[in-house]
């Protein structure tokens, strides 16, 4: 059970926590009163920590976590729309990687950002596994190819029958998985992996979703065993990562207008 504590000695009664809580767990009889948690608030709290992030005086804590443990942000470094739009447009699925290992600290720096990817009810169900060794990537690739070849409708796919067809020569594969009981596993994983993808692009790294790998690992228990996952853990995401090789895009590929309706 969570423990939400409001320190009335610190609280300035600004009421920000009341408005910020998605579950409406704070209330007060009049504007002059201190906010109080509603009955059973601990049970309904999803630990999103929005209340801690809005409180100007660090008057709140949840399970011992308080506002001082939240990151400060530098308003001036907030990116402009054009920067994010450029990032989204220039992100590409990279399929040619430099023959160069990716430093562990670079991957850690990227993965750290993914902690802030949204997840349904803030359940944060995604777990990560990094295969950051070219020989191990090749071993994993071989397992994926074996499974694909065993599938009549997939055995003739070009990627299955060409060298480096699955992981495209990437030195690193990031695997995202959840427990089978997770609330919205595929959705949460997709958001987190795409966050990673965009951050990798911002670092001028190459990345590409590894769909064949995801499919194979969801169907062939040998792969999950190789990854060291339990029978109740399911892979929902995989991203190749590495320094970009001989890719030299001159422009952004054409994409059709959205199919869009307004109501
Ligand atoms: C869920 C998903 C799975 C994918 N799986 C693969 C894959 O196994 N191999 C690959 O080369 N590209 C894969 N891709 C990349 C797509 O082919 C790519 O996004 C598409 O061709 C558009 O190119 P762009 O990402 O550069 O815009 C995958 C993309 C997604 C979203």
Contact 62, 2 (CB under 8 A): yes
- Indicate whether 55 pLDDT > 70: yes
- Indicate whether 1 pLDDT > 70: no
- pTM (2 d.p.): 0.96
Distances (CA, A) of 2 to 33, 53, 62, 119, 124: 24, 17, 7, 19, 16
When pLDDT is cut at 50, 70 and 90, the band that residue 125 belongs to is very high
Contact 240, 173 (CB under 8 A): yes
Q: What's the gap in Å between 255 CA and the centre of ligand 1?
A: 14
- Indicate whether 238 pLDDT > 90: yes
- Exposure b/e, 206-225, CB count within 10 A at least 16 = b: bbbbbebbbbbbeebeebbe
- Indicate whether 53 pLDDT > 90: yes
Q: CA-CA distance, 129 to 136, in Å (whole number)? A: 13
Residue nearest to atom 30 of ligand 1 (CA): 209
Closest CA relative to residue 196, chosen from 104, 81, 117 = 117
Q: Is the CB of 97 under 6 A from ligand 1?
A: no
**SS3 readout for the chain:** CCCEEECCCCCCCCCHHHHHCCCCCEECCCCCCCCEECCCHHHHCCCCCHHHHHCCCCCEEECCEEHHHCCCCCHHHCCCHHHHHHHHHHCCECCCECCCCCCHHHHHHHHHHHCCCCCHHHCCCCEEEEECCHHHHHHHHHHHHHHHHCCCCCCCCHHHHCCCCCCCCCCEEEEEEEECCCCCHHHHHHHHHHHHHHHHHHCCEEEEECHHHHHHHHHCHHHHHHHCCCCCEEEEEEEEEEEECCCCCCCCCCCCCCCCCCC
Q: What's the gap in Å between 93 CA and the centre of ligand 1?
A: 6
Residue nearest to atom 22 of ligand 1 (CA): 93
Q: Is the CB of 95 under 6 A from ligand 1?
A: yes
Q: Each residue of 99-118: pLDDT tens digit?
A: 999 999 999 999 999 999 99
Which domains can be identified in the chain, with CATH numbers?
A: 4-69 (3.30.70.20), 83-243 (3.40.109.10)
- Name the β-bridge partners of 37: 26
- Indicate whether 98 pLDDT > 70: yes
Q: Each residue of 126-168: pLDDT tens digit?
A: 999 999 999 999 999 999 999 999 999 988 888 888 999 999 9
Q: Each residue of 160-215: pLDDT tens digit?
A: 889 999 999 999 999 999 999 999 999 999 999 999 999 999 999 999 999 999 99
To the nearest whole number, what is the mean pLDDT of the chain? 96
When pLDDT is cut at 50, 70 and 90, the band that residue 74 belongs to is confident
When pLDDT is cut at 50, 70 and 90, the band that residue 73 belongs to is confident
Q: What pLDDT is attached to residue 155?
A: 86
**15: left (phi > 0), else alpha (psi -120 to 50), else beta?**
left
Q: What pLDDT is attached to residue 237?
A: 98
């Amino acid at each position: 059970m969570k423990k939400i504590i409001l320190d009335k000695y610190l609280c300035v009664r600004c009421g920000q926590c009341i408005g910020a809580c998605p579950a409406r767990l704070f209330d007060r009889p009049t504007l002059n009163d201190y906010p109080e948690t509603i009955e059973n608030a601990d049970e309904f709290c999803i630990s999103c920590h929005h209340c801690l992030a809005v409180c100007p005086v660090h008057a709140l804590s949840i399970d011992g976590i308080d506002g001082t443990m939240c990151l400060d942000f530098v308003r001036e470094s907030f990116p402009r729309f054009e920067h994010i739009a450029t990032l989204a447009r220039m992100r590409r699925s990279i399929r040619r990687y430099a023959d160069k290992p990716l430093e562990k600290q670079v991957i850690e720096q990227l993965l750290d950002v993914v902690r802030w990817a949204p997840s349904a009810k803030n359940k944060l169900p995604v777990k990560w596994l990094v295969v950051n060794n070219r020989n191990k990537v090749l071993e994993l690739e071989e397992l994926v190819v074996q499974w694909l070849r065993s599938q009549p409708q997939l055995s003739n796919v070009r990627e299955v029958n060409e060298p480096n067809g699955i992981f495209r020569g990437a030195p690193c594969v990031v695997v995202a998985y959840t427990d089978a009981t997770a609330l919205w596993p595929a959705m949460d994983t997709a958001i987190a992996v795409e966050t990673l993808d965009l951050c990798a692009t911002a670092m001028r790294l190459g990345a590409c979703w590894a769909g064949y790998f995801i499919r194979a690992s969801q169907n062939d228990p040998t792969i999950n065993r190789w990854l060291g996952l339990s029978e109740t853990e399911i892979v929902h995401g995989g991203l190749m990562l590495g320094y970009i090789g001989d890719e030299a895009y001159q422009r952004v590929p054409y994409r059709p207008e959205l199919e869009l309706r307004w109501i």
